[in-house]
Structure formats: C-alpha cells, structure tokens
Amino acid sequence: MLAFALLAATVSADARVLDTLTVTARRPQPVAAQVAAVSVLDAGTIAGVAATHANELLTRVPGAWISRGSGQEQLVAIRSPVLTGAGACGAFLMLDDGVPIRPAGWCNVNQLFELNTEQAGAVEVLRGPGAAVHGSNALHGVINVRPRRPEDSPAPALALEFGPNRYRRAQGTIADGLNGTPWRIDAYGVSSDSFRSQEGFDQQKLRLQWQQPAGFGAPRLQLSISNLNQETAGFVTGRDAFRDARRRGNENPEAFRDAQNVQAQGHWQWTLAAQQSLTWVLYARYQRMDFLQHFTPGKPRELSDTQSAGAQVLWRREGSLDVQAGVDVEWTQGDLLERQDAAAIGSAALQAIRPLGRHYDYRVDSFNSALFGQVQAQLGRLELSAGARVERLRYRYDNRAGDGNLRDDDTPCGFGGCLFNRPADRRDVFDDASAQLGLRLPLTAHTALVARYARAFRMPQAGELYRLQRGQDVADLEPETLRGPELGLRHVAGSLQLDIDAYSYRKRHVIGRDAVGFSFSDGATRHRGIEMQGRWQLQPDWWLQGNAAYARHRYAFDRDIAGGEHIRFGNDVDSAPRWLAGARLGHQNAQAGRFELEWVHVGGYWLDAANSERYGGHDLLHLRWQRALSPSWHGALRLMNLANRRYAERADLAFGTFRYFPGAGRSLFVELAWRRD
C-alpha cells in the first residue's frame, strides 16, 4: 500500500520529458528504467486537460476506460471489462499520496470522485496486478494521486471557468514553500446542471499541507476533504435511446447521492545508518454516503459510513542489493442501513418480496494486517526485482435487524419469502498473498526489454458477505485472484518515446450473484491484450502523442446469473471494448498559444453476457487552446465533442431492456486564470 514500488515509462503530454519519478519507497529512477506498466500524467497535463470528469483525463492511459455515469459517478476499467457491483471497486486500488482512500472490504464503486485529481501534482496509473506494497484490491490496477507540494507552482493561483448548462468552477491555491515550515492550501469547487432533466451536482474539495523539514522525522502532514451533493439521473431506456430526444429525459428525477470524505495523513522518515531509512505513515479516515437506489424496484435508500485508521511502516537499505520490508495495519468500523419507504411498483410478487422498512442494518468491525518485502539487484546487465506480501483481513459482523429473510417486523413475506436475507452475527477471516518477479534487460543505450510475472488478490467485500438474498444464510466466498505474465519494450531516444506492453492473465474465484440470488466465488475469466503509448516530437513546436490497446476479456465458466443473464465459456465479457485508443496533435508558439486536437476511440462491445446485442462504439474529437494574456493572466478554451456526436458513455442490456448513459453534445468551456509562477 505504501506507494508505487514498480513504475514504468510514461509520456508527458507537454513538450517536457520527465527525467525522474519521485515515488514513495523507491529511489528516483529514469522513467525508461522501470519494469511494470505505469502511465504518469504530470501536473502540466492535468492542468491542460482541465477535466470535468476523471473520464476525460484517463483516456490518455492505454487500456483504461473510466465509464462516465450521472454527474460525477463512474465505473473503472483498467486491463479489464467495466465491472459492476462490489467487484467494480474491489478490483482497483485507489490511493491518495500512497494511502488507500477506502478501508479494505469497504470500497465504493464511485470512490474515484473523492480524489482531487483536478489539482494533483501527478496521477500515476499502474496497469495490471499491484506490487508487494499494495495488497488487497490491487487486482486489475492501481491509481495513485500525488498532490502538489508547497514548493510547487503555481502558488498563489486562482481560476474561474464557465460552460454550458450553468457549469461554474473555481479553484485556488495559496502556499509558502520557502520558509522553515512550508505549507499549502488547495481549494476546489464546481456546480453544474445538465442537458438532461433534473440532473446536476455541487462538489467541493480542500487539501491542507504542512511540512517541517528540519523537525524530528521531517514530518509532512496533510488533511483532505471532499463533499458531493448530486441530483442523479439514471439510464435512458429503449433501443438507441441515446440518439434521440429520449437522451434528455430522466426516468428517476427523485434520485440523489450525497457523499463526504475526510482523510488525515502524517508522514515521517528517519535515516538510521548509512544507506538505511525508516518511514512511518499514520492516517485516519471518515466516509459517509447517502443515496437512493433508483436502479432497483422499490428504490430503497442506503446510508453507509466508515471510520478507519491505519499505519504503514517501511524499512529500506540501499546498495548493490536494494532491500525493503514493511508492515501495514488498519482498523475499521463500518455501518450500513438500507431502508425502503415506498411500495415497489410492479406485480404482487415483486411487492411482497421487497417489503417496506429495513432491508439491512448492520455494523462490521474489521482489522487488516500485512507483511511485505521486496529486493532489487543488478546482475551484470540484468536488473532483477522480486517481492511478496501476506495479508489477513478479519471481519466481525453484527446484525442490528432480525436474522433471516423476514420483514422488518419479523413477519414472513409471501411468494417464497423476502428477497433480502440477513445473516446472524458472525466472524470471518480471509488470508491471501501476492508476489511478483520482474526483469529488465537493456538491448541498446535507448531500448530495454522488460518482463514481469505477478499475482494479486482482492478480499471479499462486506457487501458481498452480509447483503445476502433469499435462502443463502452464509456467503462461502474466497478472495479473487489474478495472475499472469507481462512482456514489454521501453524506448527513449531523441524525439521518440515508446512503450509497448503485452499481458495474459487468469482470474479465479470471480465473485458474482447467480440466478437465484446466491453469491458465488467459483467464476473465472481470462484477460489478454497488448498496449502502446508513445510521443513523437515532430518539430520544436509540434508533437504527436498516442495510446492504443487491444484486449480480449472472456468468460472461463458457465452459469446462469442474476437478471436472466447466461454466461457461457468462451464468450466475451460484456462492457469490454476490444479497442481503446486516443491520439493528440499539439502545437505551441508564443503568439498563438498552445493548441491540442484530441481523438478518443471506444470500440464496440457486447451489452450482455450472452453476447446477443452490441453497442457499436464511438469516436470523439476535442479541441483545447490556452495562452498567456500577460505575465500573470492566462486564458483557455475547450471545445468538447467537436463533431457533436450522439453517443453513449455506457450501454448495457438488463432484464430485457436497453439502457444508456447518454453523452453530452458539443460543449464550450471558457477559463480565466491568474497565477504567479
């Protein structure tokens, strides 16, 4: 967890080349000297993209697709299909400056909006299984958001931005990175309506940082806060509804999502002896979310919160043999209440099995602990790295409603019993391990061959264990695991930078819900793909940057699952485009400013597990311009969806119904900024 241990080459979107990467728990290394497949979006890239949603920023990462939902909602795919349910978040580890933003077992599918990517110093994306420092949830990938430090520019700064549908955004920074105790404050706020009826959101983010370089352990403290108040719009339904007037509708005007997140961190580092150091990270978190499940009959309201604290300890010895060893511990108390206040609309059976009152009401206390170690050695021209981690997650579950599939008043439901089953109080313990072996072999002064074999895991989430249905009293689940090889080529020479990576993974113990509502963990999938990212400096003031990925994500088991879906061995996993690609042509000069034309491609994909219906994919064009108006004032324009394409951010087929999140049409955003570099 402590941070990225393995980082690969990346391409900056501006004209500068990143010479080194500053990564917690690793000495800075040349970007071409890394083994794992990692993309790093630097502060200049982040500011230039000026994303209104994480989807717009992470299209620059090969093999990644942040599928945009309503408002700031999203589903993540990194070397994977778009996953839904608890597994959609359990498959990816999200870090804020090296610290997971959610406790193990309590992920949220939309948790990426809690991170301040808009004002970040860098966003690092590890594609594929995590390293020994990561642990549970680092299954398909890791996203780490590093904040700007007090000494980083711009500071002070203020920017105002306006766009369609009453879009208004403000962000500002004040800092002092030169005194004996550097500090920084970054603030962000946005408010927007939508082209869809009764959809909109307000969001605020704040980060406070303080350092004492000369203090005991050179302490670095920070506090981050985020708040989201959203009026949610659900899917539009019906074949090709995203193409016509239906795209502006909102079939769920009552839907909402309110979420708050607070995280405090403290970092200390001591030099123990020659080439030895000890690093401590202490953290505490609080999350609360209240939203309406508009996507299910009866539309119950869910309120969840977690309080957690943890510590990360790392010892490191540098030298010809670089050795690192560490311990992670984390305590969590989480509560969940799901309550239905209105009768479900539908048949008598549907209304009977989805009763009014509490569906679930429980508390879970958990303790997560891990030991890990890794080494790196130079054997002639060959660089070898290896690491391993063992982890244990303990749950203590306390049901605060009646046990079984009864109504809130302990009376039985008709038509075979209530849909919602509440297990009796219990304790569960899960153990697993991750490991990786990496090799790097220089072929020339500018080119290297890299290889890696990794195994990663994710523990069953609390929602998968204790939100059961019908006759299932115990969810007998195992941790999901993913393992397989990767092979890559790194090239950096003059005006050309290029990374190529290929992978082949097997995923076992895939967790899902079958046709009768039972949770299972004996599914399997296979994931194979090849990715490219590169940058070519055509002229001093012209450049071309691109990324592309081709992948096949397929089922390796047979089962009838919830919603009438039929999984068959060898079928493509639904919501898994084979092609994801993007390219950017840029030009900059002092008179005209900086221009960037971006092309984004999302390939076609199956809408259901049976592979019976497809979405054809889409291509989008975006144009960005920015220019200095004076030494301190800057202006920027962004014209998104230049061709005014009608497309779906995400499409699927469920319960016999075509469902879409429609994409916005042509949109112009205008920004005016003042900053002192």
Q: Whole-angstrom distance between the N-terminal and C-terminal Cα of the chain? A: 33
Computed on alpha carbons and rounded to an integer, the radius of gyration of the chain in Å comes to: 25
CA dist 171 → 53, 121, 449 (Å): 15, 15, 42
Task: Please report which residue ranges of 331-461 form alpha helices under DSSP H.
Answer: 348-353
pLDDT at residue 517 in the model = 66
Q: Which residue has the tokens 């259901």?
A: 608
pLDDT in tens, 429-469: 999 999 999 999 999 999 999 999 999 999 999 998 998 88
Tell me how far CA of residue 540 lies from CA of 69, 324, 536, 587, 589, in angstroms.
Answer: 39, 42, 11, 9, 10
How far, in Å, CA of 50 to CA of 53, rounded?
9
Which residues 6+ apart lie within 8 Å of 127 measured at CB? Answer: 36, 37, 38, 39, 61, 62, 63, 64, 78, 79, 141, 501, 531
> Residues 145, 111: contact at Cβ < 8 Å?
no
Cis peptide before 297 (omega within 30 of 0): no
Q: How many other CB atoms sit within 10 Å of the CB of residue 375?
A: 16
Model pTM?
0.94
pLDDT for position 154: 82
SS3 content of the chain, % helix, strand, coil (to 5): 5, 60, 35
Omega prior to 81 cis, within 30 of 0: no
- pLDDT under 50 in the chain at which residues? 1-33
How far is the C-alpha of 651 from the C-alpha of 164, rounded, in Å?
A: 24
Can you give the pLDDT at residue 7? 33
- The CATH superfamily of 20-548+568-613+624-675 is TonB-dependent receptor, beta-barrel domain (2.40.170.20)
pLDDT at residue 19, rounded to an integer: 33
C-alpha to C-alpha distance for 602 and 618, rounded to whole angstroms: 5
Q: Bridge-partner residues for 554, per DSSP?
A: 526, 572
8 A C-beta contact, residue 484 and residue 106: no
Give the residues across from 93 on adjacent strands.
Answer: 142
Whose tokens are 């005014």? That residue is 644
